[in-house]
């Protein structure tokens, strides 16, 4: 064997520094982009928003709302969890489209059956009727008609609405200066019972008892 042949140097391909640098920059850029996307996802959550303006005391249906993603920092502290469906829930104030739904603008029943096939009805009330503030939004009450027994002259109570869901209690200022009923209680009333409740409200005195 020729010694000169056995010790012939191995030729190496020169490093293409431009290509190498391009790949390094590409991988670093992808890593940074992935990190930013991950951090952004951690700072956002899914929420419920109306697809149109919702008036106060509106019963929400599935076509009224959608899910969207919002930055956590921009959300109210009482934002409605995306895991809680607002369908079957009443608004208690106007909610503009694309504004997130929060607990402060909703009356959420513990039993969704309390709002099925209901419409909001306003009942004038005294401080005694609302138990000096114990009856408030989301309270469940029974409604009674109180009238006098023509024979004995004693007051009688007749149950006219059972397990009514209270949407709201508002203090009102009567424009005529009549302070007999300084409050309005807004109830979710089953549609078949609306006529009887309105008639009872206009013909006699109503009283409430708290169910829970």
pLDDT tens-digit profile, the chain (212 residues): 555 555 555 555 555 556 656 766 766 666 555 545 544 555 889 999 999 999 999 999 999 999 999 998 889 999 999 999 999 999 999 999 989 999 999 999 999 999 999 999 999 999 999 999 999 999 999 999 987 666 666 778 899 999 999 999 999 876 565 568 899 999 999 999 999 999 988 876 899 999 97
CA-CA distance, 173 to 74, in Å (whole number)? 35
The 3-state DSSP class for residue 191 equals: helix
In angstroms, what CA-CA distances link 70 with 59, 65, 83, 103, 150? 24, 15, 15, 17, 63
CB 160 within 8 A of CB 197: yes
* CB 185, CB 123: distance < 8 Å: yes
Nearest one of 202, 58, 78, 211 to 135, comparing CA atoms: 211
Contact predicate 94/54, CB 8 Å: yes
Q: How far apart are the C-alpha atoms of 104 and 110, rounded to whole Å? A: 16
Predicted pLDDT of residue 174? 64
């Amino acid at each position: 064997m020729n010694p000169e042949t056995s010790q012939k140097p191995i030729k190496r391909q020169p490093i293409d520094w431009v290509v190498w640098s391009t790949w390094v920059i590409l991988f670093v850029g992808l890593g940074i982009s992935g990190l930013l996307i991950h951090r952004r996802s951690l700072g956002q959550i899914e929420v419920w928003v109306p697809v149109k303006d919702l008036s106060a005391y509106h019963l929400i249906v599935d076509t009224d709302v959608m899910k969207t993603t919002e930055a956590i920092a921009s959300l109210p502290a009482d934002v409605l969890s995306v895991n809680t469906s607002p369908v079957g829930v009443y608004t208690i104030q106007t909610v503009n489209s694309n504004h997130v739904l929060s607990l402060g603008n909703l009356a959420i029943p513990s039993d969704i059956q309390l709002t099925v096939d209901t419409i909001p009805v306003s009942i004038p009330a005294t401080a005694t009727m609302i138990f000096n503030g114990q009856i408030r939004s989301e309270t469940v009450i029974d409604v009674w008609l109180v009238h006098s027994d023509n024979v004995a002259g004693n007051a009688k109570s007749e149950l006219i609405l059972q397990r009514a869901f209270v949407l709201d209690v508002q203090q009102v200022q009567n424009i005529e200066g009549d302070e007999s009923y300084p409050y309005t209680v807004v109830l979710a009333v089953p549609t078949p019972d609306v006529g009887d409740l309105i008639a009872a409200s206009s013909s006699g005195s109503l009283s409430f008892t708290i169910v829970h």
